[in-house]
Structure 1
Amino acid sequence: HRYDNRGPGFQLLWDETQKLGAKFTATVTYAMEASGSYHHNLLVFLLGKTDRVWSFNPLLLRKERLGQLRKTKTDALDAQMIAEFARKDGREHPFSTVDPEQMRLRELCRVRFRLVRKASKAKQQLRRNLDILCPGLGPEFKDVASPSAMAVLKDVAQVTSLFQATVEDLEKLLKPFYQNPDRRHLKAVALQKHFEERVENGGLEEPLVFEVRFLLHQLELYEEQVRQVEGKIEREMERRKSLLTTVPGISLVTAAIVEGELGDPHRFPDERAVRAFAGLDPSVRQSGKFEGDRVRISKRGSPRLREGLYNAALPAMRVNPACREFYERLRAGGKHHKSALTAVAGKLLVQCWAVMRSGKSFEIPEKYRVAATTEKETTTFPSAPPSLEKGDASRPSSTSQESPQGPSREPKVVRK
């Protein structure tokens, strides 16, 4: 049977399946594939009437489908395969649940994620246009959407007077962003030199300048929208009194990403399961005497959770000595900077999961607190590694601050 993916269709499905259950004196259990957002409304509808509902990961069902010899694929065969999978393996999976508060928080964070992605694409297009209009101008700004870059581009990207600003004009534009007059003058001279050295581009100026101005407006709009969404997220997290913010380096936005994407922490039996959910578990290839020389993360699971934790790893190292010690130990062992940051992100996830599962505040282990106090008496706490200075590609694209990670042992927690 086919049912309309709306309210009347859902009700018809419910009525007919309940009649079948009564006819055979059986309890009806519902199973479906978690197909993006398409299944969501049906899942919520059924969970409002019964708790016997499964929503299976599409990867599990795909493996079940590949295990069959026939290559035919139809809706009827898919429905039969899902029912058979539920009958054989359903007991290994808990029934699905819906927490409206958690789903609302998750969707707020995903709205922010989509806005940040759109802004990132606009930046890429802006840099591409600048590379054609004035080669060298884009790299002159580490971030083409920075306030100083936006101020300059708004003034000089004019169809009638393209890149005609003098050094004095540029210094006036840069004055709010460069307090040091010498640095301001050097930047203005460098920009003016790029203006003078640009070449003809075969009549592309007018359309590209139009698009540059459109992109500048888009970036301003995206920045304002991200600010509004983050404000809403922060107010929501303050209302929830989230304990994740007790982890040094975890901001309200990062805490919201973790809580929204992770959901109920008790559905994960151990830290390996929670790492796998975020796609931060190792993907190992080994057979007989063969062992792969590179171990990558699986990148399965929630990409939003993985990205949020990765962006949190660097800021966490600045405020959490346990994170920094773990990172430095990996680097000393020969790990690449980004590999070490990814490992820190995985440890951060475990710490957050432990706090959520225990319902207790996070506390840095005593040995790290003592070490941090001693180090502060002798030297200043180091800043970020040189490879991640402002403008590095691995920095987070949003403005939120982020999170800490610690030693390999279980993190300490104390009651609030």
Structure 2
Amino acid sequence: MILRMGIDIAVRAPHQASLADERGRVLWSGHRFRTIAEDLDRLWSRLPADAAVEELTVVMEPTRNAWVPLAAWFRRRGVQVVLVSAERSADLRAYYAKHTKSDRLDSVLLARLPMLHPEGLHPERGLGPGDPLRRATKLHSTLVKRRTTSLARLDALLEILGPHWHAALSGDLANKTPLRFLAAGYADPHSVKRLGRSRLVRFFHRHSRGAWGEPEVDAILAAATATLELWDDELGFPELAEDIAVEARLALALTEEIKEVDERIAVLVAQRDPAGIIASVPGVGAVTGAVILGRLGDASRFASLAAVRGFSGLVPSLDSSGLSGKHGGPTKRGDALLREALFMSANQARRYDPTLAAKYHRLMVEAGKHHNSAMCHIATTLLTRVAACWKTQTSYQLRDVDGRLIDKTEAKAIIALHYTVPDHLRRARTTTTPAAGTGRRSKESQRAPSTGPSTTHARRPGAA
């Protein structure tokens, strides 16, 4: 007997499970349970006594991270676990019962889904968010974005003091030396004056290991003087300095956390890829390589290379009917962080691999593609090659367009000679249409009164 169990996963409330046979006939439904050993054992006991474990498939939606321990529990018992996207199950539910939505109905639908859409069944073998490399790469991206936001806020606060502070701090707020200076509360020009030149020189020399010295101190003192002349006593310097210190301390703390995550990622990548396959791919660095390994998972689990490309979400959508059809933008159904890493890696890989450079040149010069569109094509090609290398456990090889093996020096010479996109064409194909903002004749609010003339009457082209 072939059985399919559909589980509607809840985060706080009990889950609901339904069991159906190969014909879609529901054997039982609405069984409530929680993710605890006692409830799972009780659920397992409800299976028919003559059912073999190899003939049981569990279908569930990946609701947040609540599905991870459930999937692991069933896999340990030899059950095949299938994850279905929420979008796909919602579409099928709308077809099955358009005006009804309940947990019990969802579990029944998931149990019948293998019969309704067998092509959409892809067994889940990984741990998902339970994979340490997957979590670490996501955490690294989050921390970097938080630090970028903090540094931008810090730069905006320094603008209140005047334009001299940005130049005095060398315009590099990501450097730990200016961050430690600001974190100490020294954005107050009065405090800078009280410290004096000698103590500031010692401060910078200690925290920069000799890289900063008297020239930087003189620039800071000049900036403090300019701020006092600009504001006099109108601005509350101590309060502003404390706000700046908070942002600087946050940036310093985030920098230390990023450093620790980088070290942990390096260890995980060395364990996952001891042969250095991902490092052999041109344009893939330490950060992007870890993201590709962590977010893609085991590439050998995909049935084909086309499935790998579809998983990335970089493939174009298709709308075809009869004799008409058109391709749209990328589906973006995959992992957003994976797409970001592939896009950045592809932009570098085309500078080192002649085959990718030739494709990029053809798309830009002959096909008239925009730079971003061409990069999506290059990214999918690069992902296909990464997956092929991973499946065969072989390193990436640089080849000319005729298939001849070449080294890095020869590859760069070939690209420079044959596949360099003209500068004027690159500028024309990399510009984007700016987003419409609020202006004198363009308003973001639809309720705002128009300031332009009425255009309700049609005119001939060129008419005054």
Shared fold, TM over 0.5: yes
* Paired residues of 1:275 and 1:350 also in contact (CA < 8 A): yes
Sort the Cα spacing of 1:116 and 1:179 in 2 relative to 1 into closer, same or farther, 3 A: closer
Identify which range, 275-284 or 199-208, moves more after superposition.
199-208
**Counterpart of 2:279?**
245
Look up the SS of the partner of 2:174 in the other structure. coil
Deviations 1:169-217 (A, max 9, x none): 9999999699999x97998799679847866998675555323212212
Sort the Cα spacing of 1:191 and 1:114 in 2 relative to 1 into closer, same or farther, 3 A: same
Sort the Cα spacing of 1:222 and 1:179 in 2 relative to 1 into closer, same or farther, 3 A: closer
Matches within 5 A, 1:12-411: 12-16=42-46, 18=47, 21-22=48-49, 27-90=55-118, 92-98=120-126, 103-134=131-162, 144-147=173-176, 150=179, 153-154=182-183, 157-159=186-188, 161=190, 195=227, 206-239=238-271, 240-241=273-274, 242-284=276-318, 295-333=328-366, 334-367=368-401, 369=406, 372-373=409-410, 376=413
* Paired residues of 1:326 and 1:344 also in contact (CA < 8 A): yes
Deviations 1:321-345 (A, max 9, x none): 4444444444435444444444433
Identify which range, 26-35 or 211-220, moves more after superposition.
26-35
Of the three residues 28, 34, 51, the one matched with 1:4 is 34
Deviations 1:284-303 (A, max 9, x none): 557789887x9432222111
Give me the whole-angstrom Cα distance separating, in 2, the residues matched to 1:201 and 1:28.
Answer: 77
* Paired residues of 1:102 and 1:263 also in contact (CA < 8 A): no
* Paired residues of 1:170 and 1:188 also in contact (CA < 8 A): no
Instruction: Supply the RMSD in Å over aligned alpha carbons.
Output: 4.8
* Paired residues of 2:189 and 2:225 also in contact (CA < 8 A): no
Give me the whole-angstrom Cα distance separating, in 2, the residues matched to 1:74 and 1:41.
Answer: 23
Give me the whole-angstrom Cα distance separating, in 2, the residues matched to 1:25 and 1:376.
Answer: 61
Q: Which amino acid aligns with 2:255?
A: E
Deviations 1:121-140 (A, max 9, x none): 32343344344554686699
* Paired residues of 1:119 and 1:222 also in contact (CA < 8 A): yes
Identify which range, 341-350 or 368-377, moves more after superposition.
368-377
Q: Which amino acid aligns with 1:95?
A: P
Sort the Cα spacing of 1:81 and 1:369 in 2 relative to 1 into closer, same or farther, 3 A: same
Give me the whole-angstrom Cα distance separating, in 1, the residues matched to 2:222 and 2:305.
Answer: 52
Deviations 1:63-98 (A, max 9, x none): 112324533322112112212213322465133323
- Larger-Rg structure: 2
Look up the SS of the partner of 1:369 in the other structure. coil
Shift of 1:30: 2.0
Look up the SS of the partner of 1:283 in the other structure. strand
Deviations 1:267-318 (A, max 9, x none): 43444322221121123557789887x9432222111211222232344345
Give me the whole-angstrom Cα distance separating, in 1, the residues matched to 2:347 and 2:228.
Answer: 39
Q: Which amino acid aligns with 2:135?
A: E
Identity %: 22
Sort the Cα spacing of 1:177 and 1:193 in 2 relative to 1 into closer, same or farther, 3 A: farther
Give me the whole-angstrom Cα distance separating, in 1, the residues matched to 2:171 and 2:227.
Answer: 18
Structure 2: segments with no counterpart, 5+ residues: 1-30, 428-464
Sort the Cα spacing of 1:378 and 1:46 in 2 relative to 1 into closer, same or farther, 3 A: closer
Shift of 1:352: 0.9
**Counterpart of 1:409?**
none
Give me the whole-angstrom Cα distance separating, in 1, the residues matched to 2:116 and 2:60.
Answer: 15
**Counterpart of 1:408?**
none
Structure 1: segments with no counterpart, 5+ residues: 389-416
Larger fraction in helix: 1
Sort the Cα spacing of 1:344 and 1:131 in 2 relative to 1 into closer, same or farther, 3 A: farther
Q: Which amino acid aligns with 2:337?
A: R
